[in-house]
Amino acid sequence: MPVLESDRLFLRGFLPSDAAAVQQLAGAFEIADTTTNIPHPYEDGMAESWIGHHPTAYQQGLLVPFAIIRRHDSALMGAISLMSIEQGHQAEIGYWIGKPFWGQGVCSEATQLIVRFAFSSLNLARLYARHFSRNPASGRVLANAGFLHEGTSRDHVEKWGILEDSENYGLLRGQWEAHNP
């Protein structure tokens, strides 16, 4: 796994020793409530299992999962990944940030790092992402990284028995390169 760096953060692959922090952060109701796939409660063993499948998925070119680490104290703050990778074409970006780290620009900074990696290192042509309509903060993260809103998919995802609208965003490499020479 590569390591990506900024002034405040670095992104690296998850380690087995990250499991307790993942369980604590991802286990917060507020995280599960605004993501498609994170369960609540986040039970013992789930983090270890999730981290354990990363190496195989990475080697198969299907997933590039990064732990978001605060540089000054090495605290795990969340996760950001490239998923559903279609080599040479596109990938989906997904992320979550632990509640104690909300409102600090962490997700925007991590998104900019992974976008640069996707276009510069993986040579992808397009990135896309989506979020629940009721989570506009996620839309602001994507807009800050240059993504354009491509539409709303109504009743697109079922979360805990409730149909959720999904906001869809996309970013093309040429569009990104025009703003990041």
Asked if the model's pLDDT at residue 173 lies above 80, the reply is: yes
Q: Between 3.90.420.10, 3.40.630.30, 3.40.630.10, 3.40.50.11600, what CATH number should domain 4-179 receive?
A: 3.40.630.30
Q: How far is CA 1 from CA 6, 54, 85, in A?
A: 17, 10, 15
Q: Describe the crossing of helices 46-59 and 19-26 by its angle, rounded to 10 degrees.
A: 110
Strand-strand pairing, 148-159 and 4-5: unpaired
Query: What is the pLDDT at residue 80?
Result: 98
Q: How far is CA 60 from CA 44, 83, 85, 112, 176, in A?
A: 27, 12, 10, 24, 27
Query: What is the pLDDT at residue 180?
Result: 83
Q: What is the pLDDT of residues 48-69, one digit of tens each?
A: 999 999 999 999 999 999 999 9
Q: What is the DSSP string of 23-50?
A: HHHHTSHHHHHTSSS--SS--TTHHHHH
